[in-house]
Amino acid sequence: MNDKVLKISKELYEKENTSDENLEFLLETKEDLKPLFKLAKKKRQEIYKNSVYLRGLIEITNNCKNNCFYCGIRKDNLNLKRYQLTEKEILECCEKGYKQGLKTFVLQGGENPFFKDETLCEIVFKIKQKFKDCAVTLSIGEREKKTYESLLKAGADRFLLRHETISKNHYEKLHPKEMSLENRINCLYNLKELKYVVGSGFMVGSPFQTTKNLIADLRFLQKLKPEMIGIGPFIPHKDTPFKNYESGSINLTLRLISILRLLFKNALIPATTSLFSLDKKIMKSALDSGANVIMPNISPKKYIKNYSLYNNKIIRPEKTLKKLKKDIYLSGYRFSLSRGDPFIT
Ligand code: SAH
């Protein structure tokens, strides 16, 4: 019946790799995928037991100089109230998060030219001074290598920069011509060279994406070897050129999480906000597919709706992490409040 799914999943489980043809089959088949999910869960348990790592997400600004066709905070969206958190506001978010046991703060934002390098460095430095046992992750897009270097010196530990798609023709359908795939990939290699802990990834079901594009994305990740891999379904935003496209599939996202877990057994893989936005009850399935990170939003409540990358973003400001911790527990896992550094084997 589902012999082929089982056979390929076993190969992935044992060899941490398989052929393009097999990946294509797993991504497209209508057969029962239980063997894939089961082995991905087994691998997750072997490496990470039932731990889930928490990261406090702070959306520091929705100002952006770019015009990505899929993204709600693109420059040309004039229906958006723009904001930029102050140093004080960011430190207050960390303070609150820290009190609840968070040990990683992720500062994410648009490519905001008003956020000067020195300001960012100062903020990173202060967070690290104040919360010595914490990690700081940045997710602020494409910058000069020297900026990445200053931020690292200021104390930043990790950097998230999804490559979005490695296929040039697909990239050009998602971005205006002022933007370049080459630059984004260059940034990723610069981050690697500087020895950041690096995260990359892509949207699932972005307009014009093909199975071949997805396989190329997986192969690219095998070359880059990021420690963290974030994927989430594309969701349209009403004020973007892609407003009439359909959301990416939840099932395909879960398949890809399982494939990623088997290809990259040590990877830190979040169950992303976009996945939760399509299905509030997805936590157990996402963790069972191999995800091991959750990023509660600890931004000031009044700004959360303005950081609107896509429609109907789940607004779940974690006043306390109590509910989240309970959901993790009820899914059969336990939250870990360690820094959750990558496993180096
Ligand atoms: N400016 C930063 C952060 C971007 S927002 C950067 O360039 O890295 C973080 C991620 O949200 C993006 O990398 C993209 O993959 C995702 N995203 C943006 N718009 C989206 C949409 N409409 N649906 C789902 N995910 C989206």
Q: Residues 44-100: pLDDT tens digits?
A: 999 999 999 999 999 999 999 999 999 999 999 999 999 999 999 999 999 999 999
Q: Lay out the sheet containing 228-233: strands in order across.
A: 56-61, 104-109, 135-139, 158-160, 197-204, 228-233
Q: CA 278, CA 71: separation in Å to the nearest integer? A: 16
10 C-alpha to ligand 1 centroid (Å): 33
CB 199 within 8 A of CB 106: no
Instruction: Give the single-character DSSP code of 179.
Output: -
- In DSSP terms, 138 is beta-bridged to 107, 159
- Determine the Cα angle at 100 with ends 131 and 107, to 5°: 55
**Residue of the nearest CA to atom 24 in ligand 1?**
234
pTM, to two decimals: 0.97
Q: CA 336, CA 338: separation in Å to the nearest integer? A: 6
CB 263 within 8 A of CB 12: yes
CB 307 within 8 A of CB 299: yes
CB 204 within 8 A of CB 249: yes
pLDDT at 316 over 70: no
CB 152 within 8 A of CB 135: no
CB atoms within 10 A of CB 78: 7
Q: CA 342, CA 154: separation in Å to the nearest integer? A: 21
pLDDT at 318 over 80: no
What is the model's pLDDT at position 317?
60
Q: CA 282, CA 320: separation in Å to the nearest integer? A: 20
- What digits encode the pLDDT tens for the residues 155-186? 999 999 999 999 999 999 999 999 999 999 99
- In short, whether 141's Cβ falls inside 6 Å of ligand 1 is yes
CB atoms within 10 A of CB 53: 20
- What digits encode the pLDDT tens for the residues 246-295? 999 999 999 999 999 999 999 999 999 999 999 999 999 999 999 999 99
In the numeric block, the tokens 């037991």 are attached to 49
- In short, whether 110's Cβ falls inside 6 Å of ligand 1 is yes
- Smallest CA-to-CA distance from 120 within 159, 81, 82 is with 159
Q: pLDDT grade, residue 2 (50/70/90)?
A: low
- In DSSP terms, 232 is beta-bridged to 203
- What digits encode the pLDDT tens for the residues 209-230? 999 999 999 999 999 999 999 9
Average pLDDT value for the chain: 96
CB atoms within 10 A of CB 291: 31
Burial class for 64, CB neighbours closer than 10 Å (0-12, 13-18, 19+): buried
Kindly calculate the radius of gyration of the chain based on its CA atoms and give it in whole angstroms.
Answer: 19
- Smallest CA-to-CA distance from 210 within 166, 178, 243 is with 166
- In short, whether 203's Cβ falls inside 6 Å of ligand 1 is yes
290 C-alpha to ligand 1 centroid (Å): 22
Residue in 63, 65, 162 to alter for ligand 1 test, most ligand atoms within 8 A of Cβ: 162
- What digits encode the pLDDT tens for the residues 111-131? 988 889 999 999 999 999 999
CB 207 within 8 A of CB 175: no
3-state secondary structure of 200: strand
Q: pLDDT grade, residue 1 (50/70/90)?
A: low
Q: CATH number of the domain at 3-336, out of 1.25.40.10, 3.20.20.70, 3.40.50.2300, 3.40.50.300? A: 3.20.20.70
- In short, whether 70's Cβ falls inside 6 Å of ligand 1 is yes
Please give the residue that has the higher pLDDT: either 47 or 343.
47
CB atoms within 10 A of CB 22: 19
CB atoms within 10 A of CB 195: 8
Q: CA 99, CA 54: separation in Å to the nearest integer? A: 14
What residue segments make up the domains of the chain, in order of their start? 3-336
**Residue of the nearest CA to atom 8 in ligand 1?**
141
CB 276 within 8 A of CB 57: no
Q: CA 200, CA 197: separation in Å to the nearest integer? A: 10
pLDDT at 343 over 90: no
The 3-state secondary structure of 115-166 reads CCHHHHHHHHHHHHHHCCCCEEEEECCCCCHHHHHHHHHHCCCEEECCCECC
